[in-house]
Amino acid sequence: MSLPRHARHLGGLVAGAALALAPAVPSAAATPAAPSTPSAYSGTLADGAAWTAEVPARWNGTLLLFSHGFGPLVAQDAPSPGARTALLAEGYALAGSSYDPNGSMWALASAERDQFATIDAFRGAAGRPRHVISVGQSMGGLINAQIARDGAGRVDGALGLCGLVAGGVDLDNYQLDAEYAISALLAPGSRDRLVGFSGAAEAAALGVKLTGAVTKAQATPQGRARIALASAYLNLADWAPNQQPPAEHDYAGQEKQQYAWYSQGLLSFLTTARYQVELSAGGNTSWNKGVDYTALLRRSSHAAQVRALYRTAGLDLKADLTRLTRDADVTADPAAVRTLTRTSTAGQGLAVPLLDVHTTSDQLVPVEQENAFAGRVRAAGRSALLRQAYVARQSHCNFTTAETVAAVHAVQHRITTGRWSGTSAAQLQRSAVALGLDGAAFVPYRPGVLVGVRR
């Protein structure tokens, strides 16, 4: 089997079905039940956020504090139904909050505060845990990284799953780069408003329009070359669901699988999510005026693919890059950028040990975010507290129950022994497989550079 670029040394690929977020736990006061049934707790925090928790009859003393991802602001206490069942069976208590439900779904302004308040509420209702492990998924992975930075004395360790750890400013900027390239090169003359939406309807309409432009472009070699260019700016994975990973030099096959992500409504999700970020920050949070799109492409792991497809199509890549650089004129709202920087980045110092786990082909939170995050942790002198692990699988947050539980065990071991061990790909793979659950695909991996980070 051929493997994706940056991963040709990987082994043991295991397919896995997409995992849904756990539903909210039915609310009640403390609910004593049969010994095999966890006790359920819930309540409301000072800002109106809901919190929920479950404590198994034979609690092992560790509380897993779960930060959920982008979406409806409903309290959740586990990353998936399977993980919830397995972790409760092992004796872990689970808790999590909705975050403040009175604003945007990009609830970063309240999330960390509400998660810390959930620990306090849990202690008052169920008792003091011996250890607290923060667990975060997707947007919740960013919250989790903030908790790992700020949580000394409140949490003992952290586990990030497909976390948006590069933060909201970088996210909005590289998504803008891709959307700008699509609008300028595949829908010229349309003058689409890419930022500063008047409402959710305008954001949704842009997503539909950009998707239509990509769909039409896929029919020609010239269109496919330009789709590949936009994909490079988006840091878009080239291994799509239900496909074999394309070979290293199969540039046409790589673009075909990138297009498969677009055809599933990716751009509509991104534009509607951008509106929620802008709503939270109070204005436009991204910019491209002054960006050199030639230099940006040079940093991408997809650069060779783009150049090859442009040659095949008989297009002048230099002309397109010059045009993108010349016409880039989006400026940000400085106050909104300051707000997003304050609420939606992780820094990054670390106060407690953090293990980040990411799928190698994540269409929503590119695995390259882990590279950017590791560099910031290293610059802060805190690399000893960070470990990163990778699962060879497509799709966002597409982990098996075994992978999640094995990662929890690795963090627990770090807390109790004071040493990282068992976090290599081979060790995590053995640990996950030994659980006898649903398989695992931990692999050695090194992400490429995150394209679109503004200097």
Q: Output the pLDDT for position 16.
A: 32
Lowest mean pLDDT among 113-122, 306-315, 346-355, 398-407: 346-355
Tell me what percent of the chain is helix, strand and coil, each rounded to the nearest 5.
Answer: 45, 10, 45
Whole-number pLDDT of residue 20:
27
Cα–Cα distance measured from residue 29 to residue 120, given in angstroms and rounded to the nearest whole number: 16
In a domain, 28, yes or no: no
Is residue 81 over pLDDT 50?
yes
Q: What pLDDT score was predicted for residue 197?
A: 96
Residue 396 and residue 384 in one domain? yes
Q: What is the DSSP letter of 155?
A: B
Are residues 196 and 263 located together in one domain of the fold?
yes
Domain boundary among 289, 315, 340: 340
**Pick from 160, 146, 78: which is nearest to 107 by CA?**
146
> What is the per-residue burial (b if ≥16 Cβ within 10 Å, else e) of 49-68?
bbbbbbbbeebeebbbbbbb
My answer on whether 317 and 223 are in the same domain is yes
**Residue 128 and residue 80 share a domain:** yes
Based on the domain organization, do 332 and 188 belong to the same domain? yes
Distance CA 44, CA 435 (A): 36
Residue appearing with tokens 């491209």: 288
pLDDT for position 13: 33
Token duo for residue 109: 């302004």
pLDDT-derived band of residue 17, with 50, 70 and 90 as boundaries? very low
Is 10 a domain residue?
Answer: no
Domain co-membership, 320 together with 335: yes
Which structural domain range is residue 73 located in?
39-165+346-443
Same domain flag for 152 and 214: no
Please report whether residue 455 resides in a domain: no
Cβ pair 98, 136 in contact under 8 A = no
Domain boundary among 340, 371, 389: 340
**102 with 160, same domain?**
yes
348 versus 430: which is more confidently predicted? 430
Domain boundary residue, one of 294, 314, 340:
340
pLDDT at 348: 76
Edge-to-edge order in the sheet of strand 131-137 = 39-44, 50-55, 93-97, 62-67, 131-137, 157-161, 354-361, 386-394, 442-443
| Shared-domain flag, residues 177 and 246 | yes
Domain count, the chain: 2
95-138 pLDDT, tens digit per residue, is 999 999 998 999 999 999 999 999 999 999 999 999 999 999 99
- Average pLDDT (75-103) is 97
Distance (Å, whole) CA 301 – CA 72? 34
One domain, residues 192 and 256: yes
Predicted confidence band at 230 (pLDDT cuts at 50, 70, 90)? very high
**Whether pTM exceeds 0.75:** yes
Judge whether 438 lies within some domain.
yes
Percent of the chain clearing pLDDT 90 (strictly above): 89
Mean local confidence (pLDDT), 163-189: 96
User: Residues 259, 377: one domain?
Assistant: no
261/193 same-domain check = yes
Cα dist from 160 to 10, 197, 354, 399, whole Å: 21, 31, 7, 12
